[in-house]
Amino acid sequence: MFMKTRMLAIMAALLAGAGICRADNITNINIWDNNSTVMTCSYGPLVTVSPGNYQLSIDGTQFAWAAGSIGGTIYTDGTGTDPTLQLGEVINNDTAYTWNDYHVTITMSQSFSFSNVGVGNFGWTDIVTAPTLVGSDWIGYIDYYAGTPVANDNSILDFSFSISFTGTTSFEEDLMPSTVPEPGTFALMVCGLTSLLVMRRRSAMKFPDNH
């Protein structure tokens, strides 16, 4: 009787453990471009790596010096713990500027965490800011920086990261490059600033302060 009771207890513990370790299944992902004048993307099929672990590829082109934005919903079946989704992204620089760093903001309606953050080219490093609750949303940041600049000749920035989250959730990703102007554009900026300084000096000489 004792052995039977002990075996039943062990089996119950194993079943409980299996339930704890099981993760939600991602059943569907709907993602779209929020502003196609800034960025357009294509989205690869959702790939199941192992139970609770998934991969999704995003191939995009960024046209303007503004935040590209991707929005959508990730659906899960609520059968277990947090699933993990790895996003592998390839972004073409079709803007008028060279990028010297790149900033990713993730906003979700469920709590989430980052892992496996990396960049595949240009030797950049990253700073991860863990998600925090802001109003009703969770917001986290990944900043890529200090590498070889990404030229505006359709050069490709390749990076990836994983997110683990607590269930069906809205998803928004804002992608913002930090720019280095073209030499011609930089020269125009310098000329403009110089002109403003000259005009200001002439104005000061023409209308001196009276004390």
| Tens-place pLDDT, residues 148-167 | 999 999 999 999 999 999 99
Q: Average pLDDT, whole number, for the chain?
A: 83
Distance CA 84, CA 81 (A): 10
Distance CA 26, CA 168 (A): 8
Distance CA 192, CA 129 (A): 37
Higher pLDDT, residue 201 or 64: 64
**pLDDT score, position 59:** 97
Three-state SS for 205? Answer: helix
**pLDDT score, position 37:** 92
- Percent of the chain scoring above 90 in pLDDT: 64
Q: Is the pLDDT of residue 41 over 50?
A: yes
Distance CA 26, CA 45 (A): 12
Tokens, residue 142: 């990944």
Which positions ≥6 away from 18 have C-beta within 8 Å?
A: none
Q: Is the pLDDT of residue 199 over 60?
A: no
**pLDDT score, position 23:** 84
Strand order in the sheet with 68-76: 26-33, 68-76, 169-180, 98-108, 137-145, 125-134
pLDDT in tens, 24-40: 899 999 999 998 899 99
Three-state SS for 111? Answer: coil
Q: Name the nearest CA neighbour of 34 among 174, 179, 211.
A: 174
The reported pTM is: 0.76
Q: Name the nearest CA neighbour of 127 among 138, 119, 135.
A: 119
- Percent of the chain scoring above 70 in pLDDT: 75
Three-state SS for 13? Answer: helix
Query: Average pLDDT, stretch 120-124?
Result: 86
177 beta partners: 102
Q: Is the pLDDT of residue 197 over 90?
A: no
**pLDDT score, position 5:** 46
Contact (CB, 8 A) for 91 and 156: yes
Q: Is the pLDDT of residue 78 over 60?
A: yes
Q: Output phi, psi for 84, to 5 deg.
A: -120, 130
